[in-house]
Structure 1
Amino acid sequence: MGCCSGRCTLAFICGMQLVSVLERQVIDFLGYQWAPILTNFLHIIVVILGLFGTIQFRPRYVTGYAAWLVVWMTWNVFIICFYLEVGDLSRDSDLVLTFNLSMHRSWWMENGPGCRVTPITPPPSWAPEDHRYISISGCLMDFQFIEVAHSSLQILLALVGFIYACYVVKLISEEEDSFDFIGGFDSYGYQGPQKTSHLQLQPMYMSK
């Protein structure tokens, strides 16, 4: 019963992770954030494998999923530090999240709640010709805090998923050991009852 409950909970957590990361993937695509797009894609694949392992009793898949969650949490901690500009990190750097392929920022920068975007004409002389120069005002929440909230949610889901993944792997391993002990995986451990035929000899009397 505990194994079933743990597996069901882990499957639910995987579902929550898929929904949240797909929403994040769409936002990152709109903002041309290539590094997060690649990382999100890897996360989606690993979560699907973890969900498969949970449903099909594959502890190796669940173990790989748990190991990836450590990397995923580390990545999201980096994203939080990046947007909060911890240490020498700067969210104005193009190289980190876009591989220096574009000057785009987070999609939430222009599309956050309450944000009003006003084009500035004429643009400054230093502005690239293929980019518009805008002014953003009225945002109810700055874009960096929205990104931090998204990453914090991912860390929370990953932490709970990691705990349940370890729990499920432990329970599945215990069940397999118990099954081995009673000969569940030994094809020769059980032999069906053999049918024996007994022929009762009766004495025969011949009359003369």
Structure 2
Amino acid sequence: MGCCTGRCTLIFLCTLQLLSALERQIFDFLGFQWAPILGNFLHIIVVILGLFGTIQFRPRYIVVYTVWTALWVTWNVFIICFYLEVGGLSKDTDLMTFNISVHRSWWREHGPGCVRRVLPPSAHGMMDDYTYVSVTGCVIDFQYLEVIHSAIQILLSLIGFVYACYVISVFMEEEDSFDFIGGLDTHSYHQSPQDHVELKPVKPVEINNEH
């Protein structure tokens, strides 16, 4: 089977998802965001699985990818709510680091146009707290950059979900068609020419012993 439009599009979407997930994983590592790091890792594995299933005509792998895209959309919606502080959530908590560190998003201090300045230790206590760092001049606040990243993930996942469902339906139809044709061929192959011979009764031959 050649590369149909839906299958080629799904391969392209999976490739984009891999690239975007790897880019996001790098910056989450730099910010020690352990919860997003774990989510990105699982996402990369499942996308690779979906890509393999699309290339190798394995509908079950694509089904796993389809289910995961729904979960991935839910996770990214939560991240958007977290950084926009919807429903009592606060972006200043340590939820994304599993409360094991005080690190924040890498974009908080390294966003476009941001100028990072460490305040003198005399004015504060410990130097490892982010409250002792002054960041000014940011073109876009870090929470909006995180929201943009999550919005891109949601968009790619929704499109991938639609095309994955389409590719699964195409694979299933082709498998049904192949089984139907194969069943006819098998029946005709096992059918011997003798099945078409009409059997006629044979009359007994009388033997004359008189000479």
Report TM bin, short chain: 0.7 to 0.9
Please list every run of at least 4 consecutive aligned residues from structure 1 whose deviation after the TM superposition is greater than 3 angstroms.
127-132, 186-190, 192-195
What is the TM-score with the length of structure 2 in the denominator?
A: 0.85
For each residue in 1:103-135, what CA deviation from the matched residue of structure 2 results, as whole angstroms up to 9, or x when unmatched? 01000000000000111113554x445446211
Provide the residue aligned with 1:191 in structure 2: 189
Q: Which amino acid aligns with 2:74?
A: T
Name the residue aligned to 1:163: 162
Is 1:86–2:86 an aligned residue pair? yes
1:4 Cα offset (Å): 1.4
Q: Contact (CA 8 Å) 2:121, 2:127: kept in 1 or not?
A: no
What residue in structure 2 maps to residue 144 of structure 1? 143
Cα distance in 1, alignment partners of residues 96 and 122 from structure 2: 25
Question: C-alpha deviations, 1:12-54, integer Å up to 9, x for none?
Answer: 0000000000000000000000000000000000000000000
Determine which structure has the larger helix proportion and give its number. 2
1:65 paired to 2:65: yes
User: What is the match of residue 112 of structure 1?
Assistant: 111
Deviation of residue 5 (structure 1)?
1.2
- Coordinate RMSD, CA, aligned: 2.3
Unaligned runs of 5+ in 1: 196-208
Question: Does structure 2 retain, via aligned residues, the 8 Å contact 1:183–1:190?
Answer: no
SS in 2 for 1:135: strand
Counterpart CA distance in 2 for 1:56 and 1:2 is 12
Tell me the distance in 2 between the aligned counterparts of 1:187 and 1:85: 64
> AA paired with 2:101?
S
Q: Which runs of 5+ in 2 are unaligned?
A: 194-211
Calculate the TM-score normalised by the size of structure 1.
Answer: 0.86
Indicate the percent of aligned positions where both proteins have the same amino acid. Answer: 63
Query: What aligned pairs does 1:28-47 form with structure 2 within 5 A after superposition?
Result: 28-47=28-47
**Aligned residue in 2 for 1:182:** 181
Question: Displacement, 1:183?
Answer: 1.3
What residue identity is the alignment partner of 1:191? Y
Do the aligned residues in 2 keep the contact of 1:3 with 1:172 (CA within 8 Å)? no
By how many angstroms is 1:101 displaced? 1.2
User: Which structure would you say has the larger Rg?
Assistant: 2
Secondary structure in 2 matching 1:117:
strand
Contact 2:29 2:37 in 1 (8 A): yes
Q: Which residue does the alignment assign to 1:198?
A: none
Aligned residue-pair number: 193
Deviations 1:54-107 (A, max 9, x none): 01110000011000000000000000000000011000111x100111101000
Cα distance in 1 for residues equivalent to 2:187 and 2:11: 34
For residues 136 and 127 of structure 2, the distance between their equivalents in structure 1, rounded to whole angstroms, comes to 23
